[in-house]
Amino acid sequence: MNTRPLRLSAAIAVSGIAAVTLAACVVAGAGPGYGGYGGDVGMGAGVGYYEPIGGVYGLWAPGYQVGPYRDGGRGWVGGNGPHAYHTSHGVRSPPSIPSRSRSRR
Amino acid sequence: MRAEIHPRSSDSRSSNRSAILFRRGVLVALLAAAGIATASAEPLALLPALVAPASQEHHVGKVIFVELVTPDMAAAKQFYGGLFGWTFTDMQAGGLDYADASLSGHPVAGLIQRKLAAGEHRQPAWLSFIAVRDVDATNKEAVAHGAKVMYSPHNLPNRGREAVFADPQGAIFAVLTSSSGDPEDVMAAPGEWIWSSLITTNPDTAAAFYQTLFDYEIFELPGKPGMQHLMFASDNYARAGANSLPSDKAITPPHWLNYVRVDDTAAMTSKVIALGGKVLVEPRMDRHGGKVAVVADPSGAPFGLMEWPNAETKEVSK
């Protein structure tokens, strides 16, 4: 029995699979949106991420405040001591968030 | 194709047939590979423009968009839709499920589904996009001042150019030059994002870093001893705050936290629980006279709730 055609078919199949696999690998690593963050951060479509896992969210003690002033900083007494950042506003009080209603375009 | 032009021996014919079969096999394989390449390398779907119709407004330093990567898109849509009344438009982006969330016709967020592999322990989170005029220049500045580039500057059709960084203390944020301009400076409606906080190990040095990138004016607000609270401003508006990590900070890494405006924080925290989320920080009165709370969606992504009583706010003139 001549086994050559069988061996050749197997070789063809292996070549085909190898070529497909190689192409798939190339595609998986190409194009926008497939970059990997590595480390603790994973990348989805290039526009999102996961953070390192946290356990319990920090407890906010009384007096821990996060929001802005709403009244132009009434009661604000400044805070222009030595800082790593640059201060230029002098005695001007802190602004608040925008208050205007949305316009109709 | 003729295999035999001249008479040959059987070995010769067999060898020739083999060569033909091999070439055909390779051809089939290459065509198959090309087919896969074509199917997989489809371009990112056109994300909706940030502002429609496009505007000429630019507000450097303003948080202009937020995006959530979630392992369960269906659960996220059910949660945020039920909580805030957001509606969603589904699309495919780079082979991933993407949902554009809007409220009353205004885009409020993007949701991306990315499955977590078994045993993969990562924290779903909202990513803040801060407006810049030049992403590449910001990239250079950020790196020069100690940031780690998580995703290099790249274009997103219809959206603009963006990049993602970890600041020197590890908080992750993105910058975006929106090709349709930045959203106008208006009061957020209930269900829209109203405020952002950077909660970090050293607000002072973090403020210097962000000031370099966004040219913020920075104000130090009164707070408890040892707990710094800074405010970042641009265009004469408050844009974000920076707070010291709470004292039990060891288990919470530096991060950006975004707040959605609500009418009743306490009622909304109950709704969060009913929809499968968690309350991380119970409602509490804040500096502006409204209550804030921190909650997490069913996948664990934290975000804030903030009341903003309806009286007009004041813009302070320079």
Q: Does A2 touch chain B (CB under 8 A)?
A: yes
Spatial CA neighbour of A85 closest among B308, B182, B204? B204
pLDDT tens-digit readout, B137-191: 999 999 999 999 999 999 988 899 999 999 999 999 999 999 999 999 999 999 9
Q: CA-CA distance, B227 to B282, in Å (whole number)?
A: 19
Pairing mode of beta strands B172-178, B126-131: parallel
Q: Is B9 on the interface with A (CB under 8 A)?
A: no
Chain A positions in Cβ-Cβ contact with residue B238 (cut-off 8 Å): 68-69, 94-97
B94-107 in b/e burial notation, b at 16+ Cβ within 10 A?
bbbbbbbbebeeeb
Q: Is the Cβ of B225 closer than 8 Å to some Cβ of chain A?
A: no
- CB contacts of A14 in chain B (<8 Å) are none
Q: Report domain B63-307's class.
A: alpha beta
Contact residues, chain B, for A26 at CB < 8 Å: 37
Domain extent listing, chain B: 63-307
CA B63 – CA B65 distance, rounded (Å)? 6
User: Given CB atoms, is B315 within the 8 Å cutoff of chain A?
Assistant: yes
Q: Flag the least confident range among A31-40, A63-72, B276-285, B301-310.
A: A31-40
Cα separation of A19 and B60, whole Å? Answer: 48
Check B93 against A98: CB less than 8 A apart. Answer: no
Across chain B, mean pLDDT equals 84
Among A38-52, B38-52, B105-119, B213-227, name the one with the lowest average pLDDT: A38-52
Chain A within 8 Å of B96 (Cβ-Cβ)?
yes
Task: Decide which of A35 and B140 is more confident.
Answer: B140
**Distance (Å) from the C-alpha of residue A71 to the closest C-alpha of chain B?**
6
Distance from CA of B69 to the nearest CA of A (A): 5
**What is the structure's pLDDT at B50?**
92
Q: For an interface test with A, which of B150, B200, B297 has the most A Cβ atoms less than 10 Å from its Cβ?
A: B150
> In this predicted structure, what is the pLDDT of residue B249?
55
Q: What proportion of chain B, given as a percentage, has pLDDT over 70?
A: 81
The yes-or-no verdict on residue A5 having pLDDT over 60 is no
Give the pLDDT of residue B31.
40
* CA distances in angstroms from B249 to A20, B94, B221, B222, B297, listed in the order given: 49, 37, 21, 20, 21
- Do residues B45 and B91 touch, judged by C-beta distance below 8 A? yes
- Nearest residue of A to residue B115, measured between CA atoms: A44
Tell me what pLDDT residue A51 has: 63
In this complex, which of A11, A19, A66 lies closest to B243 when CB atoms are compared? A66
pLDDT tier at A80, thresholds 50, 70, 90: low
Answer yes or no: is pLDDT of B231 > 50. yes
pTM: 0.77
Residue B45's pLDDT band, with cuts at 50, 70 and 90, is: low
Q: State the pLDDT confidence band at A10, using cuts at 50, 70 and 90.
A: low
**Does the pLDDT at position B192 exceed 60?**
yes
Tell me the chain A residues in contact with residue B116 when contact means C-beta distances shorter than 8 Å: 50
Closest approach of B82 to chain A, Cα-based (Å): 23
Quick check: A71 contacting B, CB < 8 Å? yes
ipTM: 0.79
Cβ-Cβ contacts under 8 Å, A98 against chain B:
185-187, 237, 313, 315
Q: Helix, strand or coil for residue A15?
A: helix
**Res A53: pLDDT:** 59
Give the Cα separation of B109 and B100 in Å (integer).
6
Q: State whether residue B125 sits within 8 Å of chain A by CB.
A: yes
Q: Which of A13, A44, A69 sits opposite B114 (nearest CB)?
A: A44
How many contacts, defined by CB atoms under 8 Å, are there between A and B?
329
Over residues B55-65, mean pLDDT? 96
Residue B232 has pLDDT above 90, yes or no: yes
Residue B8 has pLDDT above 50, yes or no: no
The verdict on A6 touching B (C-beta cutoff 8 Å) is no
pLDDT > 80? residue B16: no
- pLDDT for residue A82 is more than 50: yes
